[in-house]
Structure 1
Amino acid sequence: MEQTRAFVMRLKMKEKPAQLVVICFLLFIDGFVAVLNCSSPTRKALYHALEKELLPIKGVLPRNNFTESLEVTISITVVGLLGVDEKAQTMTIVIWQILEWQIEGLSWDKDKCGAERLSIPREMLWVPDVQIGEFMDEDISPKTPYVYLHNTGYVYDDKPLRVVSSCRLEIYSFPFDVQNCSLTFGAYVHFASDIQMIQGATAEEILEESRQVIATNGEWELVGLSVTPFTLALQESYSEVRYDIVIRRRPTIYVVNLLIPSCFLVTVDLFSFFLPPHSVDRGSFKMTLILGYTVFLLIMNDLLPVTGETTPLINVFFCLSLALMVASLLETVFITNIQFSSSQYSAVPKWLSILVLQYIAVVVCLPPKKKSNRVTVFLNQNTREPAMDPNISSVSRSETFSSDETSVKPPPTPPIPLLPSAHPEPALDELKRLSRDLTAIRLQIDNHFKGTNSSQEWQMIGMVMDRLLFWLYIIFIIASFITIICIWIWNNSYSV
């Protein structure tokens, strides 16, 4: 100090303008820079000098001019992606937080004090109150009690943080979803006029370093990161830096455990349409599939995300698959009932017949069957015999029968000469009765297989509805596969 004043007096005597500028600079340095005086070039002497200098002012901002803000530089490195809770809408990650700031007016000579930098306890100096705005839980990461202090007054603070932050999760495309979660760093109390947050490393540098040191290889992977410094304007302005962390879910476990088994069960139900309903109990087979699919969904329910805002697309897929299975079971019951009870139905409504047999049948490539023109012919040699009843339900020797409306009565044939016998008339009567019985049996069998026009229409409607549901199954499976493949490709090609 005395040497400086002597130098100033000599310059004043010479009165040179350039030297006056040097005088002012030296006075400024002498008044605002506190150079530590170490008694010896040892760390112990430096520590005592710092303790004497820093402890009295550790409770206030380390700046000489209160009209200027203190610049705090921040950088982060993502070292772990622990998981995402869709129900609580939170993300859990582990990061390294690096804060850097300058203590104005503090410096020392590294040669006289014996060290260029020194690790000192946090309690010895002022530390900025930088917090994460999205913090949702207590930080349980290990504490680092020391910071680095350089001989120029530069402070380097690096510490790990286990962050449980709130995040607006979009799970519509689960399990092929990509999430964008933000971490906003800023002073909790100090305004922008007191502390100014400055971005440190660029987003590309942070992303590259994070990919090199990331320690987890679980369900999520880091795919992108961006940094945005901004000022939050409330009643007062707050300086903040926001990091947008983009993470992507690895969908393999969900494809193997959820989608593929579900597609297998739906495909098996699709092939069950090839079972003939008139000879195989298709309903029992489909009911077994529905029970198996329900048990599968109950077991895998824990793997599905639960939120109150949006419904994942995979949940819609499972619901539609179950709905189609139930619809196919009901359709099988309808067809089975038609096969065995259509003769008791009333005539098909005209509008239903036109809609199903003329329009839907063409759409599903199932043209209506032509009506049978089969004619049943029987012989009745004795026109004097009573006519036969077409509605007969049993055969008896004492009953008489006649043909239906489509039966044609041929002309009487000439009598067959009988062999000489003692009693020809009883034999001829027996043959006539046998002929009537055989004709009645033939009529009953023919009416049973041919059925009435009404029952034929009902059976045709059942076949059309069966084919319609079969094509709906195929369309649903194709659309589901195309959607899954497209979303998976988009998920793998995503980049910031």
Structure 2
Amino acid sequence: MSTWITIVLVCLAASCSCASNCTYYNLLSHLKLSSSNYYLANFRPVKHWKQVTSVELYLLLFGILQVDEKLQTVTTHVWIETLWKNDFLKWKPSDFCNITQFSIPKSMLWTPDINIQEDASDSGSIQKSNYLTVFANGMLKMTARQRLTSTCTLNLYIFPFDQQNCNITFSAMNTHDQAIQLGTVRGDEYITNISEQSMVTHGEWSLMHLEVLTNVTSGEKPKISNLIYKVTIQRKPMLYVVIFIIPLCYLLVLDVASYFVGEGRGEKLSFKITVLLSISVLLLILKDMLPSTEDNLPIIANFCVGVFALVGISVLEAMLVSFLVDLDDKCGKKLTRASNKEVHPDKLEKKDPVKEKAEGLPVQIGPPSEREQLKLFLQEVRAAQQEAESVANAPRPKRFRRVADIIDIIFFIFYFCTVGIFLAVMYHTWIPSDFFT
């Protein structure tokens, strides 16, 4: 009987102890975390100092907020998880009512000093959790989300058809690679797919690929372990094509078509100057979009300069042709006036029939006969005919107008060929082959 009583008491004691182990307090007491532990909070949690702590990072891209070409920065919204192992924080879940994890303030445990080398954001954009998640196998997880502004060397040579490669480099600030090794939890394809599914905003960019580079060290001995996330993004160029490239091409075509406008009243020259001013406005817009750099001038800047130069030369040619036409008209007017002075009807000597009769015939008193009136009429007709012939046969030089026409035709042929070659070269060197697919 006493044996059965002993067994029952033992079972009751075990059940009571099991029930008491179902609290976090008993688990923290078992792990010696119920009070301040200086060692666990300040030293790397390994049983041997030569043991390497493997820190695994998981980056998730939530959005591409802004790309600043002038400041050479990229602003993204990221989620970062950091995992590492603590050799002193392990327990059997079965001993504590299947407790597999719990949260604890970060100040109570050691955390790796990992930073992002390209980080240029302010401290207010970082939202780090004040707690760590501790798992039964000794793994610890720290989470953070951040509006990350990172520096990136942007290659704008084929803007707006550019594709940028920006690195997000994680590294330990004061710990060499013999103590901390950085790695990743997931592979490239998984991270890329999850980021595309979780992307909230793209802006004018689309995510192409996320590549993870591990086992990268930098610096002199002792070397520091780095983990690089290579983010590949591509710009959506359609808006720039519609509001910038197509208007430039259209203005260039209008300038070519202006050669079919007549030279009268200066309409052709004024039209070309209007086209040139429109291109100047587009150049001012381009100046606000791109950074000032002389190392590698973008193709779009070369395109604008080429269009501006072609239209400028066209304006100069129109001014030359207009000058030659005006010069020809002025010379023609001067020569016409000189010829009119020589054969002007007022200067022609009019014959007085009374004087003629007085010189050779006796003067007849009374009205002239019909024969004499007919002679006077014939003399006036001959004088008018001589005047008309002299004006028609007067020299009116048109050599300047002919020179202007020849210059205009030759320049139009060369200008048309140059514009065609220029647009073809721009198309093959600038626009990607898959743009229209």
TM-score by length of 2: 0.80
Deviations 1:144-195 (A, max 9, x none): 1112111121112222132211111001111111000011111110011111
Q: Please name the residue that 1:74 is paired with.
A: 57
Aligned equivalents of 1:425 and 1:268: distance in 2?
65
Q: For 1:258, which of 231, 239, 244 is the aligned residue?
A: 244
CA contact (8 A) 1:220 1:247 kept: yes
Q: For 2:257, which of 271, 285, 290 is the aligned residue?
A: 271
**Residue 153 of structure 2 corresponds to residue 168 of structure 1:** yes
Farther-moved stretch of structure 1 (74-83 vs 124-133): 74-83
Q: Please name the residue that 1:47 is paired with.
A: 28
Aligned equivalents of 1:390 and 1:81: distance in 2?
77
Question: CA, structure 1 residues 306+344, in 2 after alignment: closer, same or farther (shift >3 Å)?
Answer: same
Counting aligned pairs with the same residue, the percent is 26
Question: CA, structure 1 residues 422+305, in 2 after alignment: closer, same or farther (shift >3 Å)?
Answer: closer
**Residue 273 of structure 2 corresponds to residue 326 of structure 1:** no
CA contact (8 A) 1:202 1:227 kept: yes
CA positional deviation for 1:456: 2.9
RMSD between aligned residues: 3.0
Q: Please name the residue that 2:172 is paired with.
A: 187
Q: Please name the residue that 2:203 is paired with.
A: 218
Q: Determine helix, strand or coil for the equivalent of 2:45.
A: coil
Question: CA, structure 1 residues 317+198, in 2 after alignment: closer, same or farther (shift >3 Å)?
Answer: same
Question: CA, structure 1 residues 232+83, in 2 after alignment: closer, same or farther (shift >3 Å)?
Answer: same
Q: Please name the residue that 2:110 is paired with.
A: 126
Number of positions where the alignment pairs a residue of Structure 1 with one of Structure 2: 389
Question: CA, structure 1 residues 111+266, in 2 after alignment: closer, same or farther (shift >3 Å)?
Answer: same
Aligned equivalents of 1:217 and 1:453: distance in 2?
65
CA contact (8 A) 1:338 1:459 kept: no
Q: Please name the residue that 2:12 is paired with.
A: none
Q: Determine helix, strand or coil for the equivalent of 2:42.
A: coil
Q: Determine helix, strand or coil for the equivalent of 1:222.
A: strand
Aligned equivalents of 2:180 and 2:187: distance in 1?
21
Aligned equivalents of 2:65 and 2:129: distance in 1?
21
CA contact (8 A) 1:40 1:112 kept: yes
Aligned equivalents of 1:227 and 1:300: distance in 2?
35
CA contact (8 A) 1:342 1:458 kept: no
Aligned equivalents of 1:465 and 1:70: distance in 2?
75
Aligned equivalents of 2:329 and 2:404: distance in 1?
9
CA contact (8 A) 1:135 1:164 kept: yes
Aligned equivalents of 1:339 and 1:197: distance in 2?
79
The letter for the 2-side match of 1:273 is: Y
After TM superposition, list the pairs within 5 Å mapping 1:456-467 onto structure 2: 456-467=402-413
Q: Please name the residue that 2:277 is paired with.
A: 291
CA contact (8 A) 1:128 1:187 kept: yes
CA positional deviation for 1:91: 1.2
Aligned equivalents of 2:421 and 2:340: distance in 1?
47
Farther-moved stretch of structure 1 (287-296 vs 391-400): 391-400
Q: Please name the residue that 1:376 is paired with.
A: none
After TM superposition, list the pairs within 5 Å mapping 1:296-445 onto structure 2: 296-298=282-284, 301-302=287-288, 304-308=289-293, 309-342=295-328, 392-394=339-341, 395-397=343-345, 421-422=371-372, 426-427=376-377, 429-444=379-394
Q: Please name the residue that 1:238 is paired with.
A: 224
CA positional deviation for 1:391: 6.6
Question: CA, structure 1 residues 270+48, in 2 after alignment: closer, same or farther (shift >3 Å)?
Answer: farther
Aligned equivalents of 2:84 and 2:436: distance in 1?
40
Structure 2 gaps, min length 5: 1-17, 349-368
**Residue 93 of structure 2 corresponds to residue 93 of structure 1:** no
CA positional deviation for 1:458: 4.7
**Residue 151 of structure 2 corresponds to residue 203 of structure 1:** no
CA contact (8 A) 2:328 2:399 kept: no
Question: CA, structure 1 residues 54+211, in 2 after alignment: closer, same or farther (shift >3 Å)?
Answer: farther
Question: CA, structure 1 residues 315+60, in 2 after alignment: closer, same or farther (shift >3 Å)?
Answer: same
Aligned equivalents of 1:492 and 1:116: distance in 2?
55
Structure 1 gaps, min length 5: 1-36, 346-388, 401-418
Q: Determine helix, strand or coil for the equivalent of 2:380.
A: helix
Q: Determine helix, strand or coil for the equivalent of 1:243.
A: strand
TM-score by length of 1: 0.71
The letter for the 2-side match of 1:63 is: V
Question: CA, structure 1 residues 159+458, in 2 after alignment: closer, same or farther (shift >3 Å)?
Answer: closer
Aligned equivalents of 2:38 and 2:374: distance in 1?
146
The letter for the 1-side match of 2:248 is: S
Q: Determine helix, strand or coil for the equivalent of 1:41.
A: coil
Question: CA, structure 1 residues 227+429, in 2 after alignment: closer, same or farther (shift >3 Å)?
Answer: same
Farther-moved stretch of structure 1 (57-66 vs 102-111): 102-111
Q: Please name the residue that 1:113 is paired with.
A: 96
Aligned equivalents of 1:292 and 1:233: distance in 2?
53
Q: Please name the residue that 1:13 is paired with.
A: none
Aligned equivalents of 2:281 and 2:224: distance in 1?
54
Q: Determine helix, strand or coil for the equivalent of 1:106.
A: coil
Deviations 1:359-391 (A, max 9, x none): xxxxxxxxxxxxxxxxxxxxxxxxxxxxxx997
CA positional deviation for 1:318: 2.0
Q: For 2:67, which of 63, 84, 91 is the aligned residue?
A: 84
